[in-house]
Chains A and B, each alone.
Chain A
Amino acid sequence: MTVGLAGLSLSIIALVIAPLVAILYRAVIDVGQGSQGSLRFTGRYISEVLTKNIYWGALLNTILVAGGAAVVASILGVVFAWIFVRTNTIGREVFEWISQLPIFIPPFVGAVAWALLAAPRSGIMNRMLEGVGIPGILDVYSRVGMLFVIGVYLAPYVMMIVAAALRSMDPSLEEAAQISGLTKFQTARRITAPLLAPAILSGAALSFTIAIGLFGTPVVLGWSRQILMLTSRIWISSQEVPPGYGVMAVLATYLLLLSSLSTWLQRVILRGRSYTTVSGKGYRPRLVELGVWRWMTGVLAVLYIVSTILAPICVLVAAAMSKYTWSGQYSFENARNYLSSDDVWITLQNSVFISVVSTTVATIAGILISWIVVRTQIRGRGTLEYLILLPISVPGIAFGVGLMLVWLNVPLPVYGTTLIIIFAFVGRFTAYAVRSISASLVQVHPELEESARICGYGAIRTFSRITFPLILPSIVAAWLLLFSFFMTELSMVVILYTAENRTFSVLAFEAWNVGDFSRLASFSLLQMAVGVAFMAVLKIIFWKKFTPKSLKSVAPN
């Protein structure tokens, strides 16, 4: 136990604390040039950021756009998670699958697709509106456009977390509410929603944190009208010669504070309440019968899927088939040519390998840390949780630079290898696994584990036979979430990669970098296909775990 905790602490120091310190201490320390560079305290970077309007403007843009995106993502995520998981909406399983597709498309690609859909002059949606006599009013290059695009991209993440919580929830409380005379919608609003509060807030905080740290989307959509967020300013500083690490560090601190604020708010709201819904008492999950409304919710799901998911994907398909956007000539041959090189497939294999290894390591670490935080009384567990959650609010560029600075100075063969990318992924993203799994673990009443212990089970057997199966949906959701992140992550990889460990996102970025959107679209669709294949495999393997028999039997038809 002690050895395990020591190993965990050492890993957190190496993969989380060291990179953060390497970049953040530059907010107040000037590092001289050269190997013998001197160190001295300085307040000039803080002063520069605090006294220049451009940085206040960036902070305001970040709060507005990320906050708005979190609201959009939460509303869409919660509503559709409920529709897909707890109602008898027509076609809900297929809809749930389709609604998760965007997470396997790199955010910057999604932003480019949306630019083609809703650009003021050339956007397809605007042209269609004009075609039927309505002025094209959609403008993706505005704050509202940005927050909508980011919100739509993040909605599946909220949906996955809330859906996992819904699947783990005992619906007897809802049944009691309905027996007491509440309508189905009153039950959803007054019973289900409050019970889901930890998951909803976790999803909202997660989407806000991802949104403030996004780099590609704000640059693609906000640059033209100089709607710059903190990450855009960090990017500008990173491009300076020498890089403006001081300003980057102060701006990264802003993001850390914003993320900490959202976590703190989440705790304040949940404080003093119990959210345990999975107890030792037996329960019989039931779908909410919507009657004729099941068609209406189905139509709502179709509208959501067509307008926010299928439309950008169709744009990608059309772009992949076109010689350039928009050539007016479409052929599958074009997309096939882009995907026929060895380079594409070797890079894809590399990307899948790195993603699977990193995801598995981060998920195991997430289970361990969640269990320590939620189930033990070990001293310092709060600090452990805080430390592991810290990096998610640090933009990838800053974390990547921090990691590079650390491993350049460590006499181990890590820098320039695949290992450094795995370290970067695990260090920065384990927090997501912790958030997802701990939200589920907190719903499992300890009496189940206590009963197992009374029956003679040891700690490991109790966990593997009792706790693990109950939180499995969250674990699988966390694995899938991390896998989607790693398959599409760019901002850290672009700093740490070499030709030998290049990932698929870098390949896509190189296509974007030369303005070849058709190639970029082909790559992104392949990336999405791989993601969907993994999702399908997981679904097949864990189908029985996700869907209790009683839930199936009460479903009509």
Chain B
Amino acid sequence: MLWLLLRAFLRAIFIVPILVALSPTSAVAADPALIAAAKKEGSLVVYGCDPPQTPIYLDAFKKLYPEIKISSYIAGCWQLYNRHVTERTSNKQAADVFFSLEDVLTKMQDEGLLDPYHSPELKNFPADAAPAGKNYQRVKTLILGIGANKEYLKGMQPPQDWFDFANPKNEWRGQITFFDPRLSSAAFSLLAALYQNFGEQKTMAIYQGLVKSNAELTPTTPAGLSKMLSGEKPLMFYVVNNHYSGAVAKGAPLQFVVPKSGTIATPFSISVTKDAPHSAAARLFVDFMMSDVQEIITKANEYALRNGSAPPEGMPNLSTVKILPIDLAAALKQQTKLIEIWQQATGIR
């Protein structure tokens, strides 16, 4: 009996804390002073461009801190930026927190629109979750892959690399959708990565090949996903892993091809805004996203970044995926040139 008690005691003081520390989903109690300050503020405004998941994170936060009234604006990443800048200019800043892809946050960083808050939870993340010199931190990441609907391939071999699109097979003619970098952050990031890693000529050849294969431009990536699911266009120039996983979870016979030359990772990051009207609530929310939300991300079959997080079901471990480096700051400076290259290659104005 005594031995049993002793063993339980030892487990309590040694094993449980170790398990908690190692667990990718562990929720660490936030600083009580911060919680008190956040509750005193009583409100929080989140701007996010992750429509499927952000409301789930907000609901979980609401359950944990019912005293804090949450309001949100969910739209395209650049739309959020435009709205925030307009509000600041009119001295009516609403946003406390920005949850966005990093092209927007990079621009906001350059314009001094982010608060230099770093969550204490970062100790549980890989070092690159807090990019040097940036005020934002990475919560989760998305990767792009070539998409195919196996049900409608009918023996057709889908492209295995970006450069396969430069020399398209006849059987792909009229079967592919691709996306507009003027409207989509992911499309722009891919264009920039291809340009920075492989040069202008090879990048242009890929987009020219898409036009040659009579690929169809869709206004958004999900519009392309719908066409892939219905079989109207069974190939996608790229599909984002969260869209892919969502469809596969429902039983869709999709294929996610990681391009041989490498793909891009587009992290979703979070930051407290400069002059946030509810700065304590904003910090508490950032801590929450870096702790409790990691479990929600994993359950949603996405890539959580907290140490030890499992990859989404059916997807490769991130460490095994060749990720193309991308300098977003440089890409944003070259935005006009990159779009012109794309327009020249595709003939789309």
Residue of B whose beta carbon sits closest to that of A515? B222
Q: What total of chain B residues lie within 8 Å of the partner, measured CB to CB?
A: 55
Say whether B246 contacts A219, CB under 8 Å.
no
Least distance between B216 CB and chain A CB atoms (Å): 4
> In whole angstroms, how far apart are the Cα atoms of A512 and B76 in the complex?
13
Chain B interface, DSSP helix/strand/loop, else mixed: mixed
Among A240, A324, A409, find the residue whose CB has the most chain B CB atoms closer than 10 A: A324
CB contact under 8 A between A326 and B230, given known A223-B218, A226-B348, A499-B72: yes
Choice from B86, B94, B219, B250 contacting A324 with Cβ under 8 Å: B250
Say whether A324 contacts B252, CB under 8 Å.
yes
Choice from A35, A54, A517 contacting B89 with Cβ under 8 Å: A35
Say whether A499 contacts B73, CB under 8 Å.
yes
- Please choose the segment from B77-85, B129-137, B259-267 that sits at the chain A interface, where 4 or more of its residues have CB less than 8 A away: B77-85
Say if the beta carbon of A460 comes within 8 Å of chain B. no
CB-CB < 8 A to B218: which residues of A?
A: 223-224
Say whether B86 contacts A415, CB under 8 Å.
no
- Please choose the segment from B50-58, B117-125, B159-167, B279-287 that sits at the chain A interface, where 4 or more of its residues have CB less than 8 A away: B50-58
> In whole angstroms, how far apart are the Cα atoms of A223 and B233 in the complex?
14
CB contact under 8 A between A512 and B222, given known A239-B182, A241-B82: yes
Say whether A514 contacts B90, CB under 8 Å.
no
Say whether A500 contacts B230, CB under 8 Å.
no
Q: In chain A between 20 and 43, which residues have their CB closer than 8 angstroms to a CB of chain B?
A: 33-35, 37
Choice from A223, A236, A329, A512 contacting B182 with Cβ under 8 Å: A236
Say whether B232 contacts A119, CB under 8 Å.
yes
Say if the beta carbon of A516 comes within 8 Å of chain B. yes
Q: Digitize B88-127: 1 where CB-to-A-CB distance is under 8 Å, 0 elsewhere.
A: 0111101000000000000100000000000000000000
Say whether B91 contacts A514, CB under 8 Å.
no
CB-CB < 8 A to B257: which residues of A?
A: none
The number of A-B residue pairs with CB atoms under 8 Å apart is 125
Choice from B70, B217, B221, B349 contacting A54 with Cβ under 8 Å: B349
CB-CB < 8 A to B251: which residues of A?
A: 323-324, 327, 329
> In whole angstroms, how far apart are the Cα atoms of A123 and B232 in the complex?
8
> In whole angstroms, how far apart are the Cα atoms of A555 and B79 in the complex?
57
CB-CB < 8 A to B226: which residues of A?
A: 112, 325, 515, 517
Say if the beta carbon of B67 comes within 8 Å of chain A. no
Choice from A226, A242, A494, A500 contacting B75 with Cβ under 8 Å: A494
Hey, which bits of chain B sit against chain A, CB under 8 A?
Answer: 45, 51-52, 55, 58-59, 70-76, 78-79, 81-83, 85-87, 89-92, 94, 107, 177, 182-183, 216-227, 229-233, 243, 246-247, 250-252, 348-349
With A239-B78, A517-B226 known, 19 other A-B pairs at CB within 8 A are A121-B231, A121-B232, A223-B217, A224-B177, A236-B182, A239-B76, A241-B78, A242-B85, A323-B250, A324-B250, A324-B251, A325-B226, A404-B86, A408-B87, A408-B92, A498-B73, A513-B222, A515-B247, A516-B222
Lowest 5 CB-CB distances: which A-B pairs, in order? A515-B222, A515-B225, A408-B90, A122-B232, A499-B72
